[in-house]
Amino acid sequence: MKVAVLKFPGSNCDQDAYFALRDDLKIGAEYVWHEDTSLAGYDAVFIPGGFSYGDYLRCGAMAARAPIMAEVTRFAKEGRPVIGACNGFQILCEAGLLPGALLLNEGQKFLCKDVYLKAETKRSLWTEGVDHVLRIPIAHGEGRYVVDSDTLARLEDNEQVAFRYVSPDGSRIAEFNANGSADAIAGVLNEKGNVLGLMPHPERATKPQLGYTDGLQILNGLKLVTSNL
Amino acid sequence: MTRVRVYVTLKPSLLDSAGRTVSGALQKLGYSELQQTRIGRLIELELDPYDEARVKEMCDKLLANPVIEDYRVEVVE
């Protein structure tokens, strides 16, 4: 089992992802440069957070057109696991691998705080092991998920809403939807459920020493992949 | 050489939270007639030769995101 951790100019959560996978999940991880064109030998892809290309034009816009993304698209279409957190989520939306887009937070502020997440479906490797409300940090200025109403209805019908922002006890309360996302959506899946994008950072929540371990509930899904090989 | 301006704007149905803040600031400065502020992006391109279809392609492929934005192209000279 080996995960490709993509690196774009301006990625800054690549090392968090790499060490979380290697040290806390005990699975293989290697960096893959944005100009590379092959994912041969990798079983999953982690698109990390950061400010790829300085967020110029739109967050994730340039990264979504980098050479490696054509290969990520092919990989995703084969049904293999791809996760994008924060800027990684923005990149997946810009690349058309996930529906919707991320806009400036409703209150404009960059938000760096804990959020509480409820998994809304069991039908993906990323959510099937989640058994309680997760406490995971966010750190973003542009995390307000938007999507047109037809697509939103389709996301609901297909169980593509992966996570919602909720209160610590799991209730839908507006004030816990920190960035003003449509329907309090924090993370979405593609139709097959193999591609997950989310604004919170599971890779920053894998160590008891840092006070967070709930990220493991999401990333442990990668271990299901190993056992299937 | 042809100079082209691409105006990219957020779809009207979407909340422009930065625009809303600017509205608030202008109203505090006494411009109470202000009803709404929407912030977009102006991109200037210089091309030689100019091909309308290729500029449209640039907009569709990168300059604008059809999920959230509309765009309009204007040939300057």
pTM: 0.95
How far is B41 from chain A, CA to nearest CA, in Å?
A: 9
Test mutation, B68, B69, B70, B71, chain A, max A CBs within 10 A: B68
Nearest residue of B to residue A98, measured between CA atoms: B67
Whether the CB-CB separation of A32 and A66 falls below 8 Å is answered with no
Q: pLDDT per residue over A110-126, tens digit each?
A: 999 999 999 999 999 99
User: Is residue A229 very low, low, confident or very high in pLDDT (cuts 50, 70, 90)?
Assistant: very low
Q: pLDDT per residue over A188-223, tens digit each?
A: 999 999 999 999 999 999 999 999 999 999 999 998
Q: How many CA atoms within 13 Å lie on the side-chain side of A62?
A: 13
Q: pLDDT per residue over A56-89, tens digit each?
A: 999 999 999 999 999 999 999 999 999 999 999 9
Characterize A124-152 residue by residue with b for buried, 16 or more Cβ atoms within 10 angstroms of its Cβ, and e for exposed.
bbbbbbbeebbbbbbbbbbbbbbbbeeeb
ipTM attached to this prediction: 0.89
Chain B residues inside the 8 Å CB shell of A99: 67
What does the radius of gyration of chain A's CA atoms come to, in whole angstroms? 16
Residue whose token pair is 């409820």: A118
A145's enclosing H/E stretch is strand A144-146
Whether the CB-CB separation of A128 and A122 falls below 8 Å is answered with yes
How far is A144 from chain B, CA to nearest CA, in Å?
A: 10
- The one-letter amino acid code at A57 reads L
The answer to whether the Cβ–Cβ distance between A146 and B68 falls below 8 Å is yes
What's the per-residue H, E or C state across B1-68?
Answer: CEEEEEEEEECCCCCCHHHHHHHHHHHHCCCCCCCCCCCCEEEEEEECCCCHHHHHHHHHHHHCCCCC
**Partners of A136 in the beta sheet?**
A115
Among A93, A99, A146, beta carbon nearest to B14 = A146
Catalytic residue positions of A, numbered: 86, 201, 203
The answer to whether the Cβ–Cβ distance between A103 and B62 falls below 8 Å is no
Interface of B with A (CB under 8 A): 10, 13-15, 17-18, 21, 61-63, 65, 67-68
Among A101, A148, A180, beta carbon nearest to B65 = A101
- Tell me which DSSP letter residue A50 carries: B
Among B18, B65, B68, beta carbon nearest to A108 = B18
What proportions of chain A, in percent to the nearest 5, are helix, strand and coil? 30, 25, 40
Dihedral sign from CA coordinates of A52, A140, B15, A148: positive
What pLDDT score does A226 carry?
A: 59
